[in-house]
Amino acid sequence: MKRIKTDILVLGSGIAGLTFAIKTAKKYPERSILVLTKTTEGESNTRYAQGGVAAVWDPEKDNADKHVADTLDAGAGLCKEDIVRIVVEEGPERVRELIEWGARFDKEKNSNEYDLAREGGHSEHRILHYKDLTGWEMQRTLMEEAAQYPNIQVWEHYFALDLITQHHLGRMVIRVTPNIECYGCYALNKQNSEIDTILSRITVLCTGGAGQVYKSTTNPVIATGDGVAMTYRAKGRVENMEFMQFHPTSLYNPVGENPSFLVSEAVRGFGAILKSAEGEEFMHLYDERLSLAPRDIVARAIDSEMKKRGTECMYLDCRHLEKEAFLAHFPTIYDKCMSLGIDPMQHMIPVVPACHYMCGGILVDDFGRSSIQRLYAAGECSSTGLHGANRLASNSLLEAMVFAHRIYLDIQDKLEHLDYQEDVPDWNAEGTMDPPEMVLITQGMKELKDIMSYYVGIVRSNIRSKRALDRLFLLYEETEDLYKTTKISPQLMELRNLITIAYLIARCAAHRRESRGLHFTTDYPDLLPFVENSVL
């Protein structure tokens, strides 16, 4: 059990965490920055991003107003327009910085101009990409840049368990307690199973999404909503959790895969068309933008066609596309399909929607400040107001960079005035034993994913939300009993965190008596005239 002090504690080593750490390290070489990451530094949602990063790049064809309008349109009335403008206007500068740090984006053939792609909901070509490996390229760049700064330490296999607040000093903290403060976190060192106390002046949550709450997701196994769950337990504000985005086209694999492999929306932007097994197009029945309509519409259309036809998947037809160009743009997708015996130039690719992105999360303001003092959040774990009820494709990498930068600006005046809280006790593990049977945790996880997939998936209803909440309550009680008596393990903590995430999604879904963006309920199929965020 160690006690560690760091000026700045960053939880997560994806695009949000590393961008913030690099900027801060450069500006304050005398300040210590500790980045904790629960597996390896390179494992994150960031690493798997395919399509790219949206930014207004070609001033002759595109402008900020168009990108703002597309984002607002996708967000179905719940975006905060001032935040959308901030992200769209500051975004290109952040992308330029990343290029200065060494990120490569594809250029047009025989030209120095970037090859800008288009995705669903975008009125222009504005997606910078590196083949279908954009996230990998960004993660690589950030890791190499972060390694240049001696005041950044990245500790791998360190699992943040709980945020430390006045609650740990024996005071009563409830959701309406004013001035809750964060003094750091307790973290499990997975290599020696010890729980360390990490004290910080400022803590920045960059813990990513929670796709693992569903049976089928494009998110890697690390995406278990830990940051949102920790914030909620610490009595911070969380919002809009009903808006879980399902990507329309993950690769259908009959034997099941976790995570599901993504077939990027950029493939549709490149000309691929959604069809049935019989080769019929169907998107004209749902939206005039056809296969390139916003994600919520396409995912619901596929879901509805599958239900009507009683099929396991729908198809993406790429057979009319030019092979050489397809291979140059989508080498990873091509190889993955071929590994399953699907040649995209000869056969249609079977696709199915899968949970992809958490639009809601920790409520933050325009500088990433959460409702808890000394605690910031950026990236997918945060809810800035950019995405509203449905995120526009390729806006999340952009948002993460813009908010990492804004947090870096905001801490400038604060660092000097904040001290460590020395009275924090060490973690108390007295009376806990090894888990009686691991199956209690693994089976709990299966049940949780089933509940969420059957009752709070793409199409919802009152009775389904109620069933989900009833069943989640039982699972919560059983898991809390286990937590109180058993030694902490990452598996137990992830289950606990995902139960909290599931509860937040189901509760927000039950509260929203309308269908808006990603939240569609058969009991209230229409939009309400007034628009509200669901803040918990």
Residue 30: other Cβ atoms inside 10 A: 6
Is 12 among the residues that bind ligand FAD (CB under 6 A)?
Answer: yes
Is 266 among the residues that bind ligand SIN (CB under 6 A)?
Answer: yes
- Could you tell which of ligand FAD, ligand SIN, none binds residue 91, using a CB distance below 5 to 8 A set by kind? none
With both helix axes pointing from N to C terminus, report the angle between 64-74 and 81-100 in degrees, rounded to the nearest 10. 120
The one segment of 110-118, 152-160, 359-367, 449-457 that binds ligand FAD by CB under 6 A: 152-160
Closer Cβ to ligand SIN, 120 or 236, answer by number: 120
B/e letters for 289-300, b = 16+ CB within 10 Å, e = fewer, are ebbbbbbbbbbb
Structure tokens at 481: 């009993």
From 443, 380, 473, 424, select the one nearest 162 (Cα to Cα). 424
The distance of closest approach from Cβ of residue 122 to ligand FAD in the complex, given in angstroms and rounded to an integer, is 12
Is 37 among the residues that bind ligand FAD (CB under 6 A)?
Answer: yes
Q: Which amino acid, residue 144?
A: E
First-to-last alpha carbon distance for the chain, in angstroms, is: 34
* Active-site residue (options: 126, 295, 471, 512): 295
Is 368 among the residues that bind ligand FAD (CB under 6 A)?
Answer: no
Closer Cβ to ligand SIN, 134 or 479, answer by number: 134
Helical (H) or strand (E) element with 242: none
Is 208 among the residues that bind ligand FAD (CB under 6 A)?
Answer: yes
What HEC string does 415-433 produce? HHHCCCCCCCCCCCCCCCE
Given 8, 9, 10, 11, the residue binding ligand FAD (CB under 6 A): 11
Q: How many CA atoms lie within 13 A of 262 on its CB side?
A: 24
Is 219 among the residues that bind ligand SIN (CB under 6 A)?
Answer: no
The site string for ligand FAD over 371-390 (x = CB under 6 A, - otherwise) reads --------xx----------
Scanning the structure block, which residue is given the tokens 């590994």? Answer: 339
Cβ-based burial of 314 (10 A; exposed 0-12, middle 13-18, buried ≥19): buried
From 40, 34, 16, select the one nearest 209 (Cα to Cα). 16
CA 303/CA 289 separation, integer angstroms: 18
> Which residue, judged by CB position, is nearest to ligand SIN in the bound state?
51
Given 32, 50, 166, 479, the residue binding ligand FAD (CB under 6 A): 50
The distance of closest approach from Cβ of residue 126 to ligand SIN in the complex, given in angstroms and rounded to an integer, is 12
The site string for ligand SIN over 33-52 (x = CB under 6 A, - otherwise) reads -----------------xx-
Is 152 among the residues that bind ligand FAD (CB under 6 A)?
Answer: no
Given 6, 9, 10, 17, the residue binding ligand FAD (CB under 6 A): 17
- Could you tell which of ligand FAD, ligand SIN, none binds residue 380, using a CB distance below 5 to 8 A set by kind? ligand FAD
* H-helix segments, 123-224: 134-146
- Could you tell which of ligand FAD, ligand SIN, none binds residue 344, using a CB distance below 5 to 8 A set by kind? none
From 243, 240, 242, 244, select the one nearest 534 (Cα to Cα). 240
Given 22, 36, 152, 241, the residue binding ligand FAD (CB under 6 A): 36
* H-helix segments, 354-461: 396-410, 439-455
The distance of closest approach from Cβ of residue 366 to ligand SIN in the complex, given in angstroms and rounded to an integer, is 22
Is 137 among the residues that bind ligand SIN (CB under 6 A)?
Answer: no
Structure tokens at 497: 């965190």
Given 222, 372, 402, 475, the residue binding ligand FAD (CB under 6 A): 222
Structure tokens at 469: 């909440």
- Could you tell which of ligand SIN, ligand FAD, none binds residue 226, using a CB distance below 5 to 8 A set by kind? ligand FAD
Given 44, 197, 200, 264, the residue binding ligand SIN (CB under 6 A): 264
- List binders of ligand FAD among 325-364 (CB under 6 A): 357
What residues have CB less than 8 Å from 117, skipping those under 6 apart?
A: 51, 52, 125, 127, 129, 266, 269, 270, 329
CA 348/CA 333 separation, integer angstroms: 13
- List binders of ligand SIN among 152-211 (CB under 6 A): none
Q: Cα torsion at 38, 42, 43, 49 (round to 10°)?
A: 140
Structure tokens at 83: 């935040």
Is 184 among the residues that bind ligand FAD (CB under 6 A)?
Answer: no
Q: 460 forms bridges with which residues in the sheet?
A: 521
- Could you tell which of ligand FAD, ligand SIN, none binds residue 56, using a CB distance below 5 to 8 A set by kind? none
The site string for ligand SIN over 365-404 (x = CB under 6 A, - otherwise) reads ----------------------------xx-x--------
Is 23 among the residues that bind ligand FAD (CB under 6 A)?
Answer: no
- Active site (annotated) includes residue 406: no
Q: Are 35 and 228 in contact (CB under 8 A)?
A: no
CA 518/CA 259 separation, integer angstroms: 21
The distance of closest approach from Cβ of residue 283 to ligand SIN in the complex, given in angstroms and rounded to an integer, is 16
Which residues are known to be catalytic? 295
Residues contributing to the site for ligand SIN (CB under 6 A): 50-51, 264-266, 393-394, 396
Residues contributing to the site for ligand FAD (CB under 6 A): 11-17, 36-39, 43-46, 48-53, 134-135, 158-160, 206-209, 218-219, 222, 226, 262, 357, 379-380, 394-397, 400
